[in-house]
Amino acid sequence: MSKVFGYPTFDEKGEMILTTYDNEYQAMLMDVRVYRMKAGEVRRFGRDGEEIAVLLLSGAVTFSWEDQKKSVTRKDVFTEGPWCVHVCTKAWVEVSADQDCEILVQCTKNDRTFQSCLYAPEDAPWGYSSVGKFGNVAKRRVNTIFDHTICPESNMVLGEVLNDRGNWSGYLPHRHPQPETYFFKFDRPEGFGASFVGDQVFKSVNNSFSAIPGGELHPQAVAPGFMMYTCWMIRHLEGNPWLQTDRCEDERYVWMHDAKF
């Protein structure tokens, strides 16, 4: 039986493994890893039969892909928007660390070809949602770096969420058939929250992750005093891609949309 929550750590080479095609989180149908790189270090990513997205979480890097090159910086995930390179099978992304940095690499199997793309912060602007609803304690900022509408040839979705302190996210409790992975960060090292996967509840801490099987309800919350970042990654199913409109809320709670608190 697949596990649904993890507390990974970085190894001596700066690699932290979340999900793979054959570990306890194989139900995610993705290979997701995070890397810490020292200034001057270079890593190269590319696999035949797979698409790859490389997301800068913090620091300064130079991305090189095909015949293109771009130097970008991101102070952290709480104050600046995302830079991400997304390439298809047989394409490579090289990451050169101009300063100490952290990157997330999301992969899945896909033989289709598509135009490589560098997504900049202005391509994935933060937008507030749920302001004034549910007692005004479900405020969050969301961006979508790419999804089925933006890149229909892709088998993945990649986006980010910033939770206001003490607020809920993914609320009302909702589900969809496609598996989803959440990777968490907090603006303080002692920050924490609660991640719900079906009827199970886990303490989310810095660098923890949820591996949510398709069909499971998955709201989450952050404790007062802390801001929570979530990188959300969805794997489309064959013939059933995840769409922004595919939000199936738990019918027991839909009355809250019209409730006055």
pLDDT in tens, 98-116: 999 999 999 999 999 999 9
At position 57, the amino acid (one-letter code) is L
Mean pLDDT over each residue of the chain, to the nearest integer: 96
Share of the chain above pLDDT 90, in %: 93
Specify the residue for token string 């933006």. Answer: 150
Domain ranges in the chain? 8-252
Q: Give the pLDDT confidence of 56-66 residue by residue, as tens digits.
A: 999 999 999 99
Q: What is the mean pLDDT of residues 181-196?
A: 98
Q: Is the pLDDT of residue 226 over 70?
A: yes
User: What token pair was written down for 31?
Assistant: 């290979």
Residue 247 — very low, low, confident or very high, per pLDDT cuts 50/70/90? confident
Alpha-carbon span 64 to 58, nearest angstrom: 17
CA distance 145 to 182: 15
User: Is 1 a residue whose pLDDT tops 70?
Assistant: no
CA 56 to mean position of chain CA atoms: 12
Show the CA angle centred on residue 226, arms to residues 220 and 230, nearest 5°.
45
* Average pLDDT for 84-108: 98
Q: What is the pTM of this model?
A: 0.97
Put residue 77 in one of left, alpha, beta given phi > 0 → left and psi -120 to 50 → alpha.
Answer: alpha
> If DSSP codes are grouped into helix, strand and coil, which group holds residue 123?
helix
Predicted pLDDT at 260: 87
The pLDDT score that the predictor gives to residue 79 is 96
Which phi and psi angles does 31 have, rounded to 5°?
-110, 115
Looking from the CA of 226 toward its CB, the CA atoms found within 13 Å total 21
Task: Report yes or no: 160 and 231 within 8 Å, Cβ to Cβ.
Answer: yes
Beta-bridge mates of residue 197? 200
Q: What is the CA radius of gyration of the chain?
A: 18
| 94-98 mean pLDDT | 98
Percent of the chain's residues with pLDDT above 70: 100
Span 148-176, mean pLDDT? 96
Class of the CATH-defined domain 8-252: mainly beta
pLDDT at 184 (0 to 100): 98
Q: Mean pLDDT, to the nearest integer, of 192-216?
A: 97
Residue type, 16: M
